Amino acid sequence: MIFGKQISAARALLRLSQAELAAKANISIPTLKRMEGSEAEATGLANNVLAVQSALESAGVEFIPENGGGPGVRLKKDL
By CB atoms closer than 10 A (0-12, 13-18, 19+), residue 72 is middle
DSSP string across 9-71: HHHHHHT--HHHHHHHHT--HHHHHHHHT-SSBPPS-HHHHHHHHHHHHHTTEEEEPPSSS--
Q: What is the pLDDT of residues 22-34, one digit of tens each?
A: 999 999 999 999 9
Other Cβ atoms closer than 10 A to 36: 21
- Is this prediction's pTM over 0.75? yes
Domains in the chain (CATH in brackets) are 4-75 (1.10.260.40)
Residue 62 bridge partners (DSSP): 74
pLDDT for the residue 1:
86
Amino acid at 11: R
Give the pLDDT band (50/70/90) at residue 79. Answer: low
